[in-house]
Amino acid sequence: MSSVLVHYHEVALKRGNRPYFVRLLRQNLATSVSDLGLLGIKHLSARLLVLLEEAARPEEIYRRLQGVFGVANFSLVEKCPLDLEVLKAKIINALDGRPFSSFRVQTKRSDKTFPLTSPEISREVGGCIKARSGARVDLKNADLTVSIEILPDGAFFSFEKIAGPGGLPVGASGRVVSLISGGIDSPVAAYRMMQRGCRLTFVHFHSVPYLDKTSQAKTRDLVKQLTRHQFASRLYLAPFGEIQRQIVAAVQRPLRVVLYRRMMMRIAESIARKEKASALVTGESLAQVASQTLANLAVIEEAASMPILRPLVGMDKLEIIDQARRIGTLEISIIPDQDCCQLFVPRHPATKAKISDVQQAESHLDIPALTQLGVDNVEVEEFKFPPPARACPA
């Protein structure tokens, strides 16, 4: 059996809500490893112990847990009875064949009935390792860190602590609708909202048949990648070409991009109400492109009555690209595609759209009918992680 001791971000968890957060985290952990021979999850004094069949490969366990928001760090641990001599023997045994020339021992004791204090346990175990291995103690730059946790349930030790993604368990902050293009920014925005505990429903606007289907294929791959963190996703694919055609026929060039965006907000908001979501999320970043000036963001926002969350608003492009690379979306986003926003786009879009001009332009359009057109023709796709074919029957 493999046991993984998971630490969560306690400080982030408000006192009264803690049981709720921990329950969510536990559910999410269980789903993330549901196809790796999950035997159970135990709650042990501010930690969760995930028990898996021995067959699970450690690298795969690590990959999964590194995707579960709310996890501060985790370690593959070995359990032994609350007995110092047994603990020493087990550690020596587990270190057999492991090369290291320096080491340190760190102990946390949450079971205060254990007769030795944490520093005493570290000293005892450290002395034993030193005598057996000949390695020196180095508290700052050790080759090997032996971590010991004394819990009421038993003593646990590990040789490796792996950082989790932090944040809050997905589900803790409610549902939001994420406007996702095939680009670099919106998947990063989605990731950051999931990290804050949101569950996302995705909406993608495409211009098939005016443009090809690459943006849809990329978006599917992006949603698939992001679903590793929330385990189930719904993607709405909304046809936008006809709406753009009508905007082009009625509105002068510079205002078109802002009008496209306003239509996207209206359609996304209508989907959000159906999904019982309480905000919209975009990958907009202040002044990154002409359509994202402060003036334009305000005009875009005016079209929706729901809050629009823009987690990237203060990030620069290099920071966003860096994060996209780390979360595994960059390689999908950079595949060339035909995005709907490139369709009928003016060379010089308005950088300071005025709400009065925009409203005047929209008065030539039947906005409720256009919104309905978008909503009525959506296609819905569902994504699951782990993929159902691989999941174990309950």
Residues that bind Mg ion (CB under 5 A): 181, 183
Which one of ligand ATP, Mg ion, none is in contact with 205 (Cβ closer than 5 to 8 A by kind)? ligand ATP
Under the binding rule (CB under 6 A), the answer on residue 340 touching ligand ATP is yes
Instruction: Tell me the closest approach of the beta carbon of residue 242 to ligand ATP, in angstroms.
Output: 14
What separation in angstroms does the CA of 190 have from each of 130, 148, 223? 48, 37, 10
Burial annotation 155-176 (CB, 10 A radius, 16+ → b, else e): bbbbbeebebbebbbbbbbeeb
Q: E strands, 110-193, where?
A: 136-137, 144-151, 154-158, 162-163, 175-179
* Token representation of residue 140: 């700052």
Which one of Mg ion, ligand ATP, none is in contact with 284 (Cβ closer than 5 to 8 A by kind)? ligand ATP
Choose between 37 and 254: whose C-beta lies nearer to ligand ATP: 254
Under the binding rule (CB under 6 A), the answer on residue 225 touching ligand ATP is no
Under the binding rule (CB under 6 A), the answer on residue 186 touching ligand ATP is yes
- Other beta carbons within 10 Å of 153: 16
Distance CA 217, CA 333 (A): 11
Which residue is nearest to ligand ATP, using beta carbons?
183
Which one of Mg ion, ligand ATP, none is in contact with 282 (Cβ closer than 5 to 8 A by kind)? ligand ATP
Under the binding rule (CB under 6 A), the answer on residue 66 touching ligand ATP is no
Query: Which residue in the set 283, 311, 349, 374 belongs to the binding site for ligand ATP (CB under 6 A)?
Result: 283
Under the binding rule (CB under 6 A), the answer on residue 216 touching ligand ATP is no
Under the binding rule (CB under 6 A), the answer on residue 205 touching ligand ATP is yes
Distance CA 242, CA 204 (A): 15
* Cα 249 from chain centre: 40
Under the binding rule (CB under 6 A), the answer on residue 374 touching ligand ATP is no
Choose between 155 and 184: whose C-beta lies nearer to ligand ATP: 184
Distance CA 126, CA 102 (A): 11
Which one of Mg ion, ligand ATP, none is in contact with 186 (Cβ closer than 5 to 8 A by kind)? ligand ATP
Choose between 75 and 181: whose C-beta lies nearer to Mg ion: 181
Q: If we measure between CA atoms, which residue out of 265, 272, 268, 282 comes closest to residue 189?
A: 282
* Token representation of residue 62: 């690590």
Under the binding rule (CB under 6 A), the answer on residue 179 touching ligand ATP is yes
Instruction: Tell me the closest approach of the beta carbon of residue 382 to Mg ion, in angstroms.
Output: 24
Listed ranges 95-103, 130-138, 144-152, 288-296: which one lies at the site for ligand ATP (CB under 6 A): 288-296
Choose between 49 and 177: whose C-beta lies nearer to Mg ion: 177
Choose between 173 and 181: whose C-beta lies nearer to Mg ion: 181
Choose between 180 and 361: whose C-beta lies nearer to ligand ATP: 180
Count of residues in contact with ligand ATP, rule CB under 6 A: 21
Q: Is 290 helix (H, G, I), strand (E, B) or coil?
A: helix
Which one of ligand ATP, Mg ion, none is in contact with 148 (Cβ closer than 5 to 8 A by kind)? none
DSSP 188-230: HHHHHHHHBT-EEEEEEEE-TTTS-SHHHHHHHHHHHHHHHHH
Distance CA 237, CA 169 (A): 27
Distance CA 211, CA 232 (A): 29
Interface with ligand ATP (CB under 6 A)? 179-181, 183-186, 203-205, 264, 282-284, 288-289, 291-292, 339-341
